[in-house]
Amino acid sequence: MSSKSAAKPQEGESWGELAKTVIYAGLIAIVIRTFFFQPFNIPSASMEATLLVGDYLFVEKFSYGYSRYTFPFGGWPFGDALHGRYFAHGPTRGDVIVFKYPQDNTTDFIKRLIGMPGDTIQMKDGRLYINGRIVPRRRVADYVEKIDGQDNHVPQYEETLPGGKTYLTLDRDPEGPLDNTEEFHVPADHYFMMGDNRDNSDDSRQAVGYVPAENLEGKAMIRFFSTDGSARVWEVWKWPLAVRYSRILTLVK
């Protein structure tokens, strides 16, 4: 009896320790998700060829400080009591940023930061102008994608922003409706965002408009996983044919 009675407290203690471990792990995960890194998946082609549908990213949430939109559920339970940014760090032109769509402050968008507060932005004949100066670009190898099993070649350019940030853009339609725009004057405390897939992006040239500073959620840092869209992260049995192995653990530029 004594040996059995001694075993019961030990068994109870082991279950108690396991429960504590699970709770602590959950709390740590919540803290990391809330304050440091958030997973994000790419649902559309607006950032091709930089980001592809099926890419999974980690977004660094402390890059620009914190606002109510940095936290889950719009800053719940603080809600509208949170305004502006805290521990603010200004973003850098060319950053790939996740932000809340200004028209509903709920939907997550991801685009590249092109225009800073006070800038004038315009597209003319498919070329980007910032403060009246054309942004240099050079032709590089075509972006090749599969459509109905056939290779489709899309003209691709390397564009270099003021400050030196270089990245790739696509020109799907040489005379597209977004190739010529009005002049956009970026207000104070707002930013102008554009997709790298220039002719297939809903961005600050259209409904997105200027993005308030407090809507910035974080900077896209690294792809931790990628599939061709035929498998989700948890569908392990589909990975061998669906995973894009060359994109795993690569930096977002």
The residues spanned by each domain of the chain are 10-251
**Comparison of pLDDT for 163 and 72, the residue scoring more:** 163
Burial class of residue 64, CB neighbours in 10 A (0-12, 13-18, 19+): buried
- Indicate which residue of 61, 63, 67, 111 is catalytic: 111
Is the pLDDT confidence value at 223 over 60? yes
> What is the number of other CB atoms lying within 10 angstroms of the CB of residue 74?
16
pLDDT at 235: 82
The pTM of this model reads 0.81
* Owner of token pair 């606002």: 67
Note the pLDDT tens digit of each residue in 170-197: 999 988 999 999 999 999 999 999 999 9
Do 122 and 183 meet the contact criterion of CB atoms below 8 Å apart? yes
CATH code at 10-251:
2.10.109.10
Catalytic site residue from 46, 63, 201, 226:
46
Per the annotation, the verdict on 46 as an active-site residue is yes
Strongest mean pLDDT among 62-66, 88-92, 198-202, 230-234: 198-202
pLDDT at 7 over 50: no
